[in-house]
Amino acid sequence: MDVALSPNGKRLMRVFFVLVIVFLYAPIAILLVFSFNSSAIPVFPLSGFTIRWYHDFLTNADIRAALETSAIIAVVSSIGAVALGILAAIGLTRRRFRGQLGATALLLSPLVIPLLVLGVSLALLFHELGMQRSIYTVMIGHIVITVPYTILVIRPRLGQIDASLGEAAYDLGAGPLTTFRRVTLPLILPAVVSAFMIAFTTSFDEYAVASFLVGPRQTFPVYLYAALRFPSQLPQVIAVAVVVLLGSLVVIVLAELWRRRAEARLEAPA
């Protein structure tokens, strides 16, 4: 006898699971449908098929500029966050020191701060420092948000690999940087790539903090938010939404599959 679920319970739960999946994906599917609908407002009945909205957003300079700004901010802040995350993860797993608990708590605490409060706080800091808001202030904020994720992804991987591999490299005369580059980094690379992807998608999609720190160059979420409040170009926005949404889904799934395969390969006996 199955101790967890009766056959009927299992059937019932399967139906429930399917219903929830439908609930989760239906709104996304609806966006997809209306992105090809020829009417300028998203209402039933559907009025005809068009790819005009996709064409429009590709030629919309504002949308392209916003996507570009977000991409630049996401790349720079993810590189920063991953670099800080690697340093912190190595420090936290390979060293024992006083105040370790406090350091860990500080490094992970941005996970629980309401982003609204972080955005306001950073805006006040930059105000006090007399710093103009720009893409750099957004990058700084995004690094704060994403560092904990990178630590959470990289630290377990470091815990899995044998610390004596690094020590062997030291014994063979490698300096700390060489050891990192030739031994540690290749072993944690799958986790580093995952951390980068998570940081990138988080930054690319981040609105709350960016809304307080953004300068004259709008990020994509800031553009999108304004477009949602005053929906004059709704179909175009829906079209770009669909592209970004499907793009991020594909990237996330591929990255996860790649990470599993890469880690399995590193695990396999040579």
Partner 1 sequence: MGAGEGGLTVEAATSEPAVAPRRRRRLRLTTPALLGLPVSWLAVFFLAPIAIVAAYSVDVLVLFPGPHGFTLSAWRSLFSGSNPYLHLFAKSVEMSLIVSAVVVLVAYPLAYFLALSGTKRKYILLLVLIAPFLTSYLLRVLAWKVILGDQGVINSFLFWTGLRSPDHPLSFLLYSRFAVMLVLGYVWLPFVALPIFVTLETLDRGLLEAASDLYASRLQAFVRVTLPLSAPGLVAAFLFVFIPTVGEFITPSLVGGTGGYMYGNQIVDLFGTGFPDWETGSVLALFLLAVIAVLTLVFVRFLRAGEVQAA
Size of site (CB under 8 A) for partner 1? 87
Q: Which of 16, 22, 55, 264 binds partner 1 (CB under 8 A)?
A: 16
Please check whether residue 30 is in contact with residue 44, taking contact to mean a CB–CB distance below 8 angstroms. Answer: no
Residues 63 and 48: their CA atoms lie apart, in Å, by 25
Tell whether omega for the bond before 45 is within 30 degrees of 0, i.e. cis.
yes
DSSP string, 207-225: -HHHHHH--SS--HHHHHH
Please list every residue from 65 through 84 that binds partner 1, using CB under 8 A.
84
Smallest distance from partner 1 to CB 83, Å: 8
Q: Which residues are CB-contacts of 206 (< 8 A; sequence separation ≥ 6)?
A: 115, 142, 145, 219, 221
Q: Taking the CB of residue 35, how many other CB atoms lie within 10 A of it?
A: 22
Smallest distance from partner 1 to CB 48, Å: 15
24 binds partner 1 (CB under 8 A): yes
Q: Which of 82, 85, 138, 239 binds partner 1 (CB under 8 A)?
A: 85
Smallest distance from partner 1 to CB 269, Å: 20
114 binds partner 1 (CB under 8 A): yes
226 binds partner 1 (CB under 8 A): no
Please check whether residue 215 is in contact with residue 135, taking contact to mean a CB–CB distance below 8 angstroms. Answer: yes
Please list every residue from 157 through 216 that binds partner 1, using CB under 8 A.
170, 173-176, 201, 205, 207-208, 212
51 binds partner 1 (CB under 8 A): no
Please list every residue from 231 through 250 that binds partner 1, using CB under 8 A.
231, 234, 237-238, 241, 244-245, 248-249
And the tokens for 159? 């815990």
And the tokens for 2? 């199955």
Site mask for partner 1 (CB under 8 A), range 127-146, x = bound: -x-----------xx-xx--
